[in-house]
Amino acid sequence: MMTDIEHITIAEARRDLDGRTYSAMELAEAHLSRIEEKKGNNAYLEVFDDVRQQAKEADKLVQSGRGGILAGIPISVKDNILIRSRRASAGSKMLEGYRAPYDATVVLKIREAGGIFLGRTNMDEFAMGSSTENSAFGVVKNPHDEARVPGGSSGGSAASIALHTALGSLGSDTGGSIRQPASLCGVVGLKPTYGSVSRYGLIAMGSSFDQIGPLAKTVEDAEILFNVIKGNDPYDSTSIPVKLYPRISEMRKRIGVPRALLGEGIDEDVLKNFEKTLAALRQSGYDVIDIELPYAEYALPAYYVIIPAEVSTNLARFDGVRYGLHVEGKNIAEEYAESRSKGFGPEVRRRILLGTHILSAGYYDAYYTKAQAVRQLISHDYEEAFKAVDLIATPTSPTPAFKIGEKTDPISMYRSDIFTVTANLTGMPALSIPSGFVEREKKELPVGFHLTAPMLRESWLFAAGKDVQASVK
């Protein structure tokens, strides 16, 4: 019998499916009707027409005992990750009508593990944003308060989990796009180590930052998904070869807190919630140690210099000829210009302009080279800090979910990423875990606790994340 899907996790569904408590078909049906019920939140851009067919196949596999770890598990996928023969629009008009010619490596891996693809989730255009307000297909409404944003850019993925319309989701994180929406929607989100999950089949934003990662209801579920999607991939030249993986020792339960970063601009109750979680971790045997990250305050400016530069080069391929939208013009130059100005929204155009400026001969050294140097200094700060601690903790976001339309100037939006961009600058893995709620206008809004680990130490994040999870219950 199908119980209430609100209380099912991937780990539980695995046991239930294997124990024949319900079938993959029943689980899929329950999710499809829930998606229909929650349509107004706009988390999905498309629900696939073959979900029941996939469930039927999954049931056969489960019955034969040959099903993988995800056999029959319903999963949603961010609109910038390619699923063969399905549309992928990256939340942009520019990719109108585009269909993916192949599966992203992560999709292939989930397929092989038996996962069921429910549909494509809404996102900020080409993953630029922290609210999904930049989507060409309308904003996603936060499951906890529909007047508020779900965070971004993977806002559709985070909302799909919080609304119980999927058991797991794939998002992408370039500067916080998995962790910040996870925090604002009250779910778990992991940005894996750069190079540990293949980027093959991910529509690129900033190639030296982008990582695909899981969103889920629990840390256990995020771990299950990560174990399925990780691994070396010859199709991604930045994928880490297995022989370079270090031996991972036990975590020693030392958490560093960069106090100097926890000042201005952070809501008081968010900070209180953070201190409460730290106190709970002390209770479970962690040492909480103050640390210094002298260059971390420059993370946001460095990120917002390098990112437009990478965006402007990556998005040069969308010329109105090779993919998606095409606008006729008198000559090829006019066709490029018309297609690009009609296809791209304002934030994407802003970054292309900024990036082109930053990379131009006269400014390259002043901006790009300087920001890359700062990136190095920040990585060095983290490496030094990790000599004394195993994990570094901050809140995930300085505020809970903000109102739709509230942040009108780009800089105030960029500030939401203050705690998340460093993990992408350094390549280190980071996890956001729900740590409770704060109240705004009589609504309980979720808050996230953010942990960063040294390269390839996802196992430490999961271990500490489970302790955070246990302390909140």
**123: amino acid identity, one letter:** M
Is 177 among the residues that bind ligand GLN (CB under 6 A)? yes
Residues 110-149: x where in contact with ligand GLN by CB under 6 A, - otherwise, as a string:
-----------------xxxx-------------------
| Closer residue to ligand GLN in complex, CB, 129/400 | 129
Classify residue 292 by burial, with Cβ atoms within 10 Å: 0-12, 13-18, 19+.
middle
Q: Which of 23, 92, 135, 153 is catalytic?
A: 153
Q: Out of 176, 201, 324, 355, which residue is the one contacting ligand GLN (CB under 6 A)? A: 176
- Spatial neighbors of 23 by CB under 8 A, at least 6 apart, are 17, 55, 59, 62, 72
CB of 175 to ligand GLN, least distance (A): 3
- Spatial neighbors of 299 by CB under 8 A, at least 6 apart, are 378, 418, 421, 422, 425
Q: Which of 23, 38, 76, 78 is catalytic?
A: 78
CB of 153 to ligand GLN, least distance (A): 4
Q: Which of 135, 154, 177, 239 is catalytic?
A: 177
Is 430 among the residues that bind ligand GLN (CB under 6 A)? no
User: Which stretch in 175-183, 264-272, 293-301, 390-398 sits in contact with ligand GLN by CB under 6 A?
Assistant: 175-183
172 part of the active site: no
CA distances in angstroms from 128 to 22, 155, 221, 449, listed in the order given: 40, 11, 27, 23
| Count of residues near ligand GLN by CB under 6 A | 13
38 part of the active site: no
Six token digits for residue 292: 């210094």
When computed from its CA atoms, the radius of gyration of the chain, rounded to whole angstroms, is 21
Cα 45 to Cα 79: distance, rounded to the nearest angstrom: 8
CB of 237 to ligand GLN, least distance (A): 21
Where does residue 326 fall: left (phi above 0), alpha (psi -120 to 50 degrees), or beta otherwise? beta
CB of 11 to ligand GLN, least distance (A): 27
Residue least distant from ligand GLN (Cβ): 177
User: Which stretch in 99-107, 174-182, 378-386, 433-441 sits in contact with ligand GLN by CB under 6 A?
Assistant: 174-182
| Closer residue to ligand GLN in complex, CB, 122/174 | 174
Is 173 among the residues that bind ligand GLN (CB under 6 A)? yes
- Spatial neighbors of 435 by CB under 8 A, at least 6 apart, are 273, 274, 276, 277, 447, 448, 449, 468, 472
Window 64 to 93, contacts with ligand GLN (CB under 6 A): none
Residues 192-231: x where in contact with ligand GLN by CB under 6 A, - otherwise, as a string:
-------------x--------------------------
Cα 107 to Cα 83: distance, rounded to the nearest angstrom: 7
Strands (E), 237-328: 254-257, 287-290
Window 283 to 342, contacts with ligand GLN (CB under 6 A): 307
Contact between 455 and 428 under an 8 Å Cβ cutoff? The reply is yes
| Closest to 452 measured CA to CA, from 227, 299, 242, 333 | 299
Cα 175 to Cα 129: distance, rounded to the nearest angstrom: 9
| Closer residue to ligand GLN in complex, CB, 71/401 | 401
Cα 43 to Cα 139: distance, rounded to the nearest angstrom: 9
Catalytic residues: 78, 153, 177
User: Which residues would be at the binding site for ligand GLN (CB under 6 A)?
Assistant: 127-130, 153, 173-177, 205, 307, 417
